Structure 1
């Protein structure tokens, strides 16, 4: 069972005198969730799973798992997404019938693209038409409900009897956590949930159904890769998806230091190696920086460990030409490539391919090369590498936010659940495995608040500060996720980098206008979030979250972030709305015309 710190404390959320007898179909499902030590189940209430809801409350007492009520299914999934990335283990989500699945679709796609484990529990109206209530049960019954999301989940099932429920849940829990990870979906017939048991259903020993260890690399491939590394004069190591643990980070560093290999890391994957290590090239990239391109071109061997888009990286560095340099790639993501989506990205040229877990390949190479592994201690100093910039035209920038956060968190462990486009990585180096969790996977705007809350939930009760810097568009799409943070006292600090625009799309429209020799001043049409400007701090307060803003000056920023850090230390969420400049002179000069 989980420890007390992992349980959310809130008034009125614990059931009184739960019934311990497993008497109904949904009691079997709920009991399995407890046996699997599922900590939380995020949900928006729905009649299709009213049986399961009753079992969670009146059979389990709303503990292990505890329900986290959300105002939208998309937020429930996003919270589970953020939790899994920060905790290193999944939680559950309940989705109401077909309509709940439709609401959750974008967030499920994000989790799929991010390869995050998650147990999605759905429900449908009675499959026996004679048992359906008029109108509403017919609307909420689907012949194949999982078809709505099957292209971007790992596995699904709809058990047809109560005795089939345990195996369905065990298999789903196992598959979700088997590398490469991903969400799974188990749908319960409403009639099955509400079926009274005529005889006991024996629950299996769940320890015998644990997910298998990640696949190990082929010994011959490891030997060949090690020989190439021994011979290389300028190897380059690319780090993509991997475990967020100190042990594995130390293995990555041991390999890089042993072969004197320069390192590149990807913002999409989060902190895999320290971004200010002497072998790390520049800052972690989203798109390759000129410095990263040069490093790739100068390398005489490229070794990729779980790169999200190795083919795209190669194309960005070498153009349309196939590079002469030898390339090694370790990863098992190909197991999830199904063709519906193209998140597998470009097909890379690879000379040695290892179909295995990327971290397992790192470990095997360290052993083969007899590299010395040094256990490192976290460096929690926050002295910025660069000096804080002067205010330009009296406007704050993302660098001011980074420097202020560095000052407020000096000496403390921090997790950034999200960071926006344009984050100045040099001003706030990421050194710890959990310091930055990476992007949302599928690029689904609106996920930021939920991801922030999920990560903060995972670290609740510890000394780790959970902070998220998100754009105003992302925040506005997911603003009522904040209600869940307020209800359950989840200490997330959300800093909104607010430029009153969908800036990414402004940049795209600017590029199109230049390409077509059209009026660039029109790039703002349909992109600016103003006239009126939303009051994000007021919207946060309306959800029950304390907030500051809009913040316009350095002094206001300092005060707001000080209050924000102190608030989350006290166990409460906080939001800071920071009005920042557009950080682009060409665009800023035309703003508002």
Structure 2
């Protein structure tokens, strides 16, 4: 249901403008939404979205910060695999959004980002403000972490660039694109609607496929291997791709390792799954990896760093299946350390898995059953910890189909029970704090009406920075549940300070200074209520959290958005604490 305030009054169109053509092009690109925070540099386009298109297809998602607009599009893409349009105001809006764009780049998600600039012709600029909001090369702010950009100087060039940006962002490997429109092009009158590029004739090309020789070589390597291990990273949210991955692993009895940085990729309770998913290797996963004689990396994030966490034998062979080399640049180090491999296949992992299943004639129809967790087993009056929270949350949601949109850095992967590709969406790519709330809203929009409940466990620092993103979700009446694992600290940095203190023989007791978020305490539930969300808590015991969760789930099932302030003890799972504070290499 669209809010009354979002329904424009009827409009008689006597004159067409350049921005009307740009808006029509967005409709032709099948954009359901456009996320934006208003700005004068695209006032022409904004008018066209409202009065030419009637605020339909695409519908405007008003956001309270540019970073939220990008994070919402990021969450949408993680569910759908498709881009949303984002509009950013001039150089200042682009700078606000830069961190979120970097997250989307690192997470390899598609996104159509549109910018705008004050008149390129200096004679047409308004005093003061137009000069502040005009840049010589606006895209330079984000060029190292977008896939392509342009600043076209005419309407025909703008339409062409818009089409090209869409094709490029949806071509694997995916990443955001950016097109900056001159305000003069937007606001100039046009006689007739120009001929628009045909999206059907500009479809994204298929990604490169493995050659027959590469498939033959990999099949032979898998057949010879006695202890193959699959590192399964960035893969699709498609159910058929999921069962193919299971079938391939079962055929070769390959152990499978997954992580929390990327979305659910393989059933975590499957006998072939090794160790618990984590941001770093668990001890069990490291042991399995150390015994491998063949490691196949399926677009795994940081294969070199992961292999270094094991004692992989020198004779073990490594296969790297990824399109990463096509995006690697010299500015960002998100491509991680270089990995030595005996065979590198430039293709998407699921494309290769499909080809292997076809070649081997594997049955890929078996579905993964969900395990039934026992009662959470936590003492009712115990002070809540992140571990206890996880037990209670899993038990409480056992009867609700749900998607875990995000999990915090301290999460213990042993609580992960993933049986399908939409069970978990992964982290945010660039580990930029404040992305969580916006990504939840974007994912919740994509899941609306699907029967799946969007659920996220966010850290308090992430939530506080991004809380106003929730207003967009409540304005559009999107059901979702956020549990804030509130340890009242930027705790990740506390463990760094603890390590430094121990190395330097200084007081560990001081590690909280400059990290603890208290005195005054922040009202998390109050922040939620200020955005139109139902805020519950604070709760600090197992019994209190269990009660709040039951109440929250009832409200979410009824279509409401809910935030629970869960006060937890400070602490990280062992592998996370050790991985985050390990000594710098070299």
| TM band (smaller chain) | over 0.9
Q: Which residue of 2 aligns with 1:589?
A: none
Tell me the secondary structure at the aligned position of residue 12 of structure 1. Answer: helix
How far residue 406 of structure 1 moved from its aligned partner, in angstroms, is: 2.1
The one of 564, 568, 575 equivalent to 2:556 is 568
Shift of 1:513: 1.1
Counterpart residue number, 2:578 = none
Question: What is the aligned counterpart of 1:12 among 5, 11, 16?
Answer: 5
State whether residues 121 and 185 of structure 1, in contact with CA within 8 Å, keep that contact through their aligned partners in structure 2: yes
Of residues 228, 231, 247 in structure 2, which corresponds to 1:235? Answer: 228
Kindly indicate whether the alpha-carbon contact (under 8 Å) linking 1:18 and 1:57 is maintained by their aligned counterparts in 2: no
Rounded to whole Å, the distance in 2 between the matches of 1:462 and 1:191 is: 42
Deviation at 1:522, TM superposition (A): 1.1
CA distance in 1, matches of 2:82, 2:11: 27
Distance in 2 of aligned mates of 1:570 and 1:258: 44
Q: Tell me if the contact between 1:19 and 1:59 (Cα under 8 Å) persists in the aligned partners.
A: no
Partner of 1:388: 377
Which one of 497, 503, 522 corresponds to residue 510 of structure 2?
522
**In the alignment, which of 258, 261, 265 is matched to residue 268 of structure 1?**
261
Distance in 2 (CA, whole Å) between partners of 1:409 and 1:390 is 19
| Structure 1 equivalent of residue 527 of structure 2 | 539
**1:516 Cα deviation (Å)?**
1.6
Per-residue deviation, residues 361-395 of structure 1 (Å, max 9, x unmatched): 2112222333332241x6455525x9534468x31
- Cα pair distance change 1:179/1:426, threshold 3 Å: same
Matched, 1:210 2:200: no
Q: Does residue 1:120 correspond to 2:108, yes or no?
A: no
Q: Is the partner of 2:109 in helix, strand or coil?
A: coil
Contact 2:437–2:466 (CA<8 Å) still a contact in 1? yes
Residue number in structure 1 paired with 2:159: 166
Choose which of 331, 338, 346 in structure 2 pairs with 1:347.
338
- Deviation (angstroms), 1:403: 2.4
Query: Per the alignment, in what secondary structure is the counterpart of residue 278 of structure 2?
Result: coil
Q: Aligned runs of 1:428-467 on 2, under 5 Å? A: 428-467=416-455
Closer/same/farther in 2, CA of residues 537 and 424 from structure 1, 3 Å limit = same
TM-score (norm 2): 0.95
Give the whole-Å Cα distance in 1 for the aligned partners of 2:48 and 2:444.
27
CA distance in 2, matches of 1:16, 1:328: 59
The answer on 1:504 being equivalent to 2:497 is no
What does residue 5 of structure 1 align with?
none
**Displacement after TM superposition at 1:536 (Å):** 0.7
Please give the alpha-carbon distance, in whole angstroms, between the structure 1 residues aligned to 2:376 and 2:392: 11
Distance 1:112 1:468 in 2: 22
- Report the secondary structure of 2:261's partner residue: coil
- Cα offset, 1:405, TM superposition: 2.2
Cα deviation, 1:233-266, whole Å, max 9, x if unaligned, reads: 1111110111111110111111100000010012
- Aligned 1:266-345 pairs, distance under 5 A: 266-318=259-311, 323-345=314-336
Shift in Å, 1:530: 0.8
Given the alignment, which residue of 30, 42, 47 partners 1:49?
42
Q: Is the 8 A contact 2:21 2:193 kept in 1?
A: no
1:63 equivalent among 41, 56, 60:
56
**Corresponding position of 1:362:** 353
- Indicate conservation of the 8 Å contact 2:371/2:417, yes or no: no
Offset, 1:420: 0.6
Q: Which residue number in structure 2 is paired with residue 107 of structure 1?
A: 100
Secondary structure at 1:470 match in 2: strand
**Residues 71-122 of structure 1: CA distance to partner in whole angstroms, max 9, x if unpaired?**
1000110011001101221111110000000000000000000001000010
Among 127, 140, 146, the alignment partner of 2:133 is 140
From 512, 533, 547, the equivalent of 1:559 is 547
Give the C-alpha shift of residue 317 in structure 1.
1.1
Residue 4 of structure 1 aligns with which residue? none
- How many residues align? The count is 574
Q: Deviations over 1:257-309 (max 9, x none)?
A: 00000100121111011111110012112111111111111111111110111
Deviation at 1:21, TM superposition (A): 7.4
Which secondary structure state, in structure 1, belongs to the residue aligned with residue 514 of structure 2? coil
| 2:410 and 2:572 in contact (8 A); partners too | no
| Equivalent position to 1:411, from 372, 395, 399 | 399
Is contact 1:403–1:428 with CA below 8 Å preserved after alignment? Answer: no
Question: SS at the partner of 2:21?
Answer: helix
CA distance in 2, matches of 1:427, 1:162: 53
**Of residues 201, 210, 217 in structure 2, which corresponds to 1:224?**
217
SS for the counterpart of 1:344 is: coil
User: 1:412 & 1:21 partners in 2: Cα distance?
Assistant: 52
**Secondary structure, counterpart of 2:27 in structure 1:** helix
Q: 1:382·1:411 contact (CA, 8 Å) conserved in 2?
A: no
Q: Work out the CA distance in 1 between the residues paired with 2:196 and 2:51.
A: 19
Matched-pair contact (CA < 8 Å) for 2:412–2:573: no
Say which SS state the counterpart of residue 171 (structure 1) adopts.
helix
CA contact (8 A) 2:275 2:283 kept: no
Instruction: State the SS of the aligned residue for 2:308.
Output: helix
Segments of 5+ residues of structure 1 without an aligned counterpart are 1-7, 587-593
Conservation of the 8 A alpha-carbon contact between 1:328 and 1:353? yes
1:408-454 per-residue CA deviation (whole Å, 9 max, x = no partner) reads: 32233211111012223333411110111001000100111111111
Unmatched runs of 5 consecutive residues or more in structure 2: 575-586
Q: Using the alignment, how far apart are the partners of 1:406 and 1:314 within structure 2?
A: 31
8 Å Cα contact 1:382-1:428 kept in structure 2 = no
Instruction: Report the Cα offset of residue 155 of structure 1.
Output: 0.4
For residues 242 and 483 of structure 2, the distance between their equivalents in structure 1, rounded to whole angstroms, comes to 28
CA contact (8 A) 2:379 2:542 kept: no
Task: Find the aligned partners of 1:382 and 1:408 in 2 and give their Cα distance.
Answer: 12
Q: CA deviation at 1:404?
A: 2.3
Instruction: After TM superposition, give the deviation of residue 544 of structure 1 in Å.
Output: 1.4
